[in-house]
Amino acid sequence: MSGIRLENVFKAYGDATVVRDLSLTIPQGEFFTLLGPSGSGKTTTLSIIAGFTMADRGRVFINGRDATRAEPRERGLGMVFQNYAIFPHLNVFENVAFPLTVKKVPKVEIAKRVADALEMVKLTGFERRYARQLSGGQQQRVALARAIVAHPPIVLMDEPLGALDKNLRYHMQMEIKEISTRLGMTVVYVTHDQEEALTMSDRIAIMNGGVIAQMGPPREVYERPQSAFVAKFLGEADLIRVERQSGCLVGPGSLPVRAGEDNGSLQKGQLFLRPEKVTLCDPGTGEAGCTLRGKVHQVAFLGNVIRFEVELEDGTIILSDVANAAGIKNFPVGAAVDVTWLPEHARLLED
């Protein structure tokens, strides 16, 4: 069996538990992302997979073999490090060749594979340069080429794009994704950038406080978060306090609300909506059961989207993102509006 499997991995530094009984399975060929705020345990988890950190308890399987106690060099992983970790005393060729030279691969073979790797990251012709002579993006490509040159089945990436500016970052996301798909690599990717995670991953594990808060494909975790934390971490979220009165959910202004997949078990909670699923209409025109009343608090022009901030009767602020398309209806600040949505877009979350 290939891929990675963690079983009840636990790691603490003194009193501080960093990873708490974490188990996960990453099948061969998957682009898997560990997403979370700093201190959530995602980097430690990656480090345990890489072998730089030893877990206190639990086991690590790599390609079916128990690698819990194996040295990093015995694990046969490719790695892209935060800040790239390019050797400053070696040029691009020597850097990329490093994983092959230490394995005593014949020179001719090295030359060929380094050339291939550099071509793949579009750095052909930069062989003799040193790190300080390269731009951030080029350094990133060197790091990438070095991670894949030995054709490792698994590549670990620790916030590899953190130091790049936004445009370049998007560009590199696409390239990394393309290369990993082309080579059929298993990628374990660590980031704190939710957009990056959503763009690239086959599956995302959102970590918080050393445990996985939720794990699933990007669309699922984005649209069907199981907690307010996941909802808020993956982009903007509207959360409305609701409670159940005689079987029905009631929101601010004692208006009834409905949510998809509500089995009636929760007595109170938060109604979750993505801002792009929330629409505004003139007062009194919203459909009962999925409408709340409020007034426009602020309007922000974001280019492709116009963002309305609506204050509900209990003071809750609701965001509504409206595509900046032809025929868009404008609501001035202070205008009374109805806030509506489709019931299947709303989810009831625990507090």
Partner 1 sequence: MPLGPLAKWLLLAPAVALLLVLFLTPVGWFISASLMELGSWQDIWDEVAAVMGTGVIVRSIINTNGISLAVTLLTLVIGYPVAYAMTRARGLTFTLILVCVVLPYFTSTIVRTYAWMVILGRNGIINQLLLGMGLVDEPLQLMYNRLGVLIGMTYVLLPYMVLTLFATMKSVDGRLLQAAAGMGARPMTIFTRVFFPLTFHGVMAGSLIVYILAMGFFITPALMGGPDDLMMAMLIEREVELSHNWPVAAIMTIILLVITLSLYAVYTRFSDSSEERLA
Encoded tokens for 119: 């071509």
Single out the residue of 14, 15, 16, 71 in contact with partner 1 (rule: CB under 8 A): 71
**Is residue 87 part of the contact set for partner 1 (CB under 8 A)?**
yes
**Is residue 166 part of the contact set for partner 1 (CB under 8 A)?**
no
**Is residue 72 part of the contact set for partner 1 (CB under 8 A)?**
yes
**Is residue 160 part of the contact set for partner 1 (CB under 8 A)?**
no
**165 CB-near residues (< 8 Å, 6+ apart):** 136
Nearest distance from C-beta of residue 78 to partner 1, angstroms: 8
Single out the residue of 14, 132, 247, 325 in contact with partner 1 (rule: CB under 8 A): 132
Nearest distance from C-beta of residue 147 to partner 1, angstroms: 9
30-38, 77-85, 160-168, 299-307 -> range binding partner 1 (CB under 8 A): 77-85
**3-state DSSP of the chain:** CCCEEEEEEEEEECCEEEEEEEEEEECCCCEEEEECCCCCCHHHHHHHHHCCCCCCEEEEEECCEECCCCCHHHCCCEEEECCECCCCCCEHHHHHHHHHHCCCCCHHHHHHHHHHHHHHCCCCCCCCCEHHHCCHHHHHHHHHHHHHCCCCCEEEEECCCCCCCHHHHHHHHHHHHHHHHHHCCEEEEEECCHHHHHHHCCEEEEEECCEEEEEECHHHHHHCCCCHHHHHHCCCCEEEEEEEECCEEECHHHCEECCECCCCCCCEEEEEECHHHCEEECCCCCCCEEEEEEEEEEEEECCCEEEEEEEECCCCEEEEEEECCCCCCCCCCCCEEEEECCHHHCEEECC
Site residues for partner 1, window 97-126 (CB under 8 A)? 98-99, 101-103
> What residues pair up with 87 in beta bridges, in sequence order?
none
Closer of 76 and 286 to partner 1 (Cβ): 76
82-90, 205-213, 223-231, 283-291 -> range binding partner 1 (CB under 8 A): 82-90
Closer of 126 and 341 to partner 1 (Cβ): 126
**Interior angle at CA 42, CA 168 and CA 186, nearest 5:** 65
Nearest distance from C-beta of residue 199 to partner 1, angstroms: 26
Single out the residue of 76, 210, 225, 251 in contact with partner 1 (rule: CB under 8 A): 76
**Is residue 255 part of the contact set for partner 1 (CB under 8 A)?**
no
x/- contact string, 13-52, with partner 1 (CB under 8 A)? -------------------------------------xxx
78-86, 168-176, 316-324, 339-347 -> range binding partner 1 (CB under 8 A): 78-86
Closer of 73 and 112 to partner 1 (Cβ): 73
**Is residue 79 part of the contact set for partner 1 (CB under 8 A)?**
yes
Closer of 132 and 329 to partner 1 (Cβ): 132
Residue from 64, 63, 71, 13 nearest 43 by CA: 13
Nearest distance from C-beta of residue 33 to partner 1, angstroms: 19
Encoded tokens for 341: 């949505």
Site residues for partner 1, window 195-254 (CB under 8 A)? none
Nearest distance from C-beta of residue 75 to partner 1, angstroms: 8
In the complex, the residues that contact partner 1 under the rule CB under 8 A are 50-52, 71-73, 76-77, 79, 81-83, 85, 87-90, 98-99, 101-103, 130, 132, 146, 150
